[in-house]
Every structure is written in C-alpha cells, then in structure tokens.
Amino acid sequence: MKFEKFKEEFSYVMNDTIRPGAVLELDGTIACANNPFLIAFGNDQLHNVEELLDDASYKKVKSFIQKAIDMKCNTFDEVSFTLTLHHHEKKRVNGILFYSEEKQKVNILFDNPGNLKNVPVKSYENVTYFADFFVMIVDEEGIIRDINNKHLQYFNKPREFFVGQSYEVLAEFYQHDNSYKTQISLNGYDERIHRIEIPPGEVRYYHMFTYYDKETAMYYVRICDCTEMINMEQQLAHLGTLSTVGQLAASIAHEIRNPMTTLKGFVQLLKISARDEAQKYLSVIDSEIERMEIILSEMLVLSKPSEKEKTPISLQKLLTNVIQILYPQTIKDRLTIDQVEFTGNSSIIYGNGDRIKQVLLNLFKNSLEAMSPGGTLTIELVENEKEQLVLTIGDTGAGISAKQIDRIFTPFFTSKVDGTGLGLPFVKKTVEEHGGKIAVESEEGKGTVFTLVFPQLSPKIIGQEYNKMFA
C-alpha cells in the first residue's frame, strides 16, 4: 500500500495534530505514525510498539488485539499505558486502542504525554470517527460540542440536531434525569441501559457510558447498541418461564386429569335425575371442569416445542378463513373488520397451518373483545424489501396501559376476569418457532396494534407445482 493511500485511509489518526498516534500491524509493528507521535517519542529506532511500552502495557495491547481478532468486529478500548519517551523518561498516560476488522490494523492514540509545547493536553477531534458506537462530547453547561458520524445510524437524526444543542435533546428518545452527574461525582463515571424509541416506532436498547474529563472540563458520552443482547436475555428469560410452566404442567397433568375425569363422569350421572335448579348448578360445575381442561391443555402446549409437520401455507388464505369464522361474532357485537387488500407477490410462509390459525384466532378474539359496539378491527398484510411478510392487527379498543404492555406475554398474566393468561404466551412462542417476531404498540383510549413478521417463502423455491397449488 502506498504511503499517501495509507495516510488517507487512516486519516483520523494521521491528521490528529494533538495526540500522538500510530497505525499498528497485528504483531505490533508500527506501520505509520503521525507528527505528534514523532515529536513525542521519535521513531528513528522504533519499529514495534513494544519498544515504547513497559511489559505490562504491551501485554494490554496484545490482549486487546487477540480479543479483537476473536470477536471479528471493530473494537474499541481505553487503556492506561506507561511510555518510554525518546529521552528515556517514563510517563504514564491514557490512550485509546481501536481495531479495524476491515483493514486488519490497530490504531493507537495516546493522550499528550506533556512534552509537546503550545498545544492543549487532550483533543477528542476525529478520535472515534470510525468507531462502531456513537460518541458525544458535552460541556459543563450541558451543550453538545461534538459528535462522531454515527448519529444517523443510532438516532436517525442529522448532525445539526445534536451539535450546539442542549443534552436535553435526548429526551425526545427516552426519559432521563441529571442523576448521572451525581454518579460521576461519586464514582468518576456513570453507565446505564436506556430503552430508546426511534421514529418511526423502532425500539432499541442503548448502553450509555459517561465520564467527566477534568483536563478538558468535558463529559465524554459513549453509546453502544446492545439491543440484540437485551432481546436474547429477554428470550432466554421467557423460555425459562415457559420451561417452568411446562415442567409444572407435565408433573401435575396426570394428578389433575384423573380426578377431573371422575368429577365429569359423576356430573353427567347427576344431570340425568337432577331437577331444574340442580341442573343449573351442575351445568356451572361442568363448564368450570371444561375450563380447567382448557387451561391444562394450554399449559402443555407451552411446555414443549411444536413437533407438528411444517408445510408451505398461504398466510392470506388463513386470514380470510379466520375472518369468516369470526364474522358472526362481529355481527352480534356490532363490530367491523376492515381487511386491507394484499397486493404483494406471495403470502406464503413455511409453517404449521393449525398453530398459525390458532395464533390469528387468539389475536383477533382479543381485539374484538377489547372493543365496544362500533369499533373497527383493521388487518393488513404486506411484504417488505427483506423478503418478509408483515401482518398488522389493529383495534380501536380501550388500549393497554404502559405498566401492562411489558407483561402481556408473561404466562398467567391477564387483565380479563375469565382469562387464563396463556393465550399471548402461546402466540409469541408459536411466532418465534416459525422464525418470526411479534411486537405490540398501544395507547389507552385509542387502541392496540400487534405487528407480526414472518420469513416469506418464495414460490420459486418450491417450483411450478407449488405455484399451481396456491394459484
């Protein structure tokens, strides 16, 4: 690689006129260094960063490189180094290591060790420009002085939205207070995870790390996207709950069903000779026994993965079928179903038709039961650019409170008097077993919208016979 081309590709290191910086090969060899590096350390005899650092510091660099190679992604870390200056003076400074997976290089930037004249001690300009995380520099007045180039990726906002504005602009995305300043004064830093709502309705989880730099009187804010990690933890917790429910169901199923069968048999016998008043009470007992059987069956469904065979199924046809089933209920309750016409190329997914049908029945019934006469259930199926089918089910019901919405997929949680609290956990489990995702948005007094996303199965994969089947 020609030197000028090399400088261009690593310009955020090479153009830093304040902090000594260099680009390293994975073995520590110095490939290129900026002017502050040459002034601070001299590199006439320096060929490897090992010659500049003490043993403990060099071990930190090697450990960082190995970790970065194992992770196979851009990685950043802040490290404290002990340096040997070109006049043999030992100096302890802080620095930044950044590994570029694409370039297979390590960029190292040190705080000014103090032997450079007429320059500030530290500058953040360009230091984290190519990092995978979002960085903000905030002054003591709470004004954002600078950011790196991740503002669109993280917040879908232009640079002008942040720079020169108060830190309070972040209140558009999440609720925050000034308690982080208290934590920084006590601990030197603050870190927390925030649930961020990014227009148009996407929810992400960001880890925010903030520390105060006394030398520059600035707050350094580093924001990393940890959504996948949080989602995985939530799924594991959800699966753990389902497993507990399943183990409980399996262990008591035999013990409960035997006496239930006995009770049901005697109820039927008593009905033969019972009079009107007794018949009424026996019917109540009978219906409650049936409800107990339904609850037990739903618990057992949650206890293990579906073993039923999956085949190509038309989601659009399933929707039409379920709407026809529920049509009499909508007439009786004076409700309207508005099904938006599907205009995509294919509504085919790979799955179990019976279980998906039950998912739709559960969601549609919940929506219909949540509405008063005159309400409308809107159903729309579209295909997106990611070869996915997106199904939205929206009602004009009472809505779900903010406290309840995070718990609706938890087994046994229900807001209905006669609900089991197992319908929506079944829905979530089934959707995820089909490689899909489910999300919910609700506003009290206005209604609720469920969004289901399924992988789309192209008819081309199956062939011409498949096309004939679903033509």
Any idea what the CATH number is for the domain that residue 280 is in? 1.10.287.130
Domain end call among 211, 229, 247: 229
Same domain? For 384 and 423 the reply is yes
Identify the domain boundary among 278, 303, 328: 303
Same domain, 454 and 318: yes
Same domain as 337, residue 284:
no
Residue 176, domain CATH: 3.30.450.20
350 in the same domain as 441: yes
- Residue 246 counted as domain residue: yes
Domain C-terminal end among 214, 229, 244? 229
Q: Are residues 283 and 296 in the same domain?
A: yes
**CATH number of domain containing 328:** 3.30.565.10
One domain for residues 102 and 139: no
Task: Return the structure tokens found at 330.
Answer: 């909508």
Q: Give me the phi and psi of 36, to 5 degrees please.
A: -60, -30
Domain of residue 14: give its range.
4-110
Q: Name beta bridge partners: 146.
A: 137
Same structural domain, 68 and 175: no
pTM over 0.95: no
Whether residue 405 sits in one domain with residue 295:
no
Element (H, E) at 39: helix 35-41
- Do the domain assignments include residue 145? yes
Which residues does residue 313 pair with via DSSP β-bridges, in sequence order? 349
- Cα torsion at 211, 213, 219, 224 (round to 10°)? -40
How many domains in the chain? 4
Q: Name the residue type at position 164.
A: G
Q: Is residue 45 assigned to a domain?
A: yes
Tokens, residue 107: 């960029």
CA 3 to each of CA 9, 14, 103, 105, 424: distance values in angstroms, whole numbers, following the listed order = 10, 11, 15, 15, 61
| DSSP H stretches of helix in 304-413 | 315-332, 353-369, 402-405
271 and 366 housed in the same domain: no
In a domain, 58, yes or no: yes
On whether both 210 and 320 belong to a single domain, the answer is no
In a domain, 76, yes or no: yes
Question: Which residue is associated with the tokens 């997914």?
Answer: 349
CA separation, residue 255 to residues 20, 92, 251, 258 (Å): 74, 70, 8, 6
Q: Is 12 found in the same domain as 154? A: no
Verify that 328 and 440 share a domain, yes or no: yes
Q: Strands of 134-139's sheet, edge to edge? A: 144-147, 134-139, 218-225, 202-213, 189-198
Give me the residues of the chain with pLDDT under 70, please: 1-12, 15-18, 39, 42-45, 85-89, 112-131, 176-178, 199-201, 215, 232-255, 294-295, 297-308, 417-420, 458-471
CB atoms within 10 A of CB 361: 15
Residue 467 lies in a domain: no
Whether 344 is in a domain gets the answer yes
Question: Residue 90 falls within a domain, yes or no?
Answer: yes
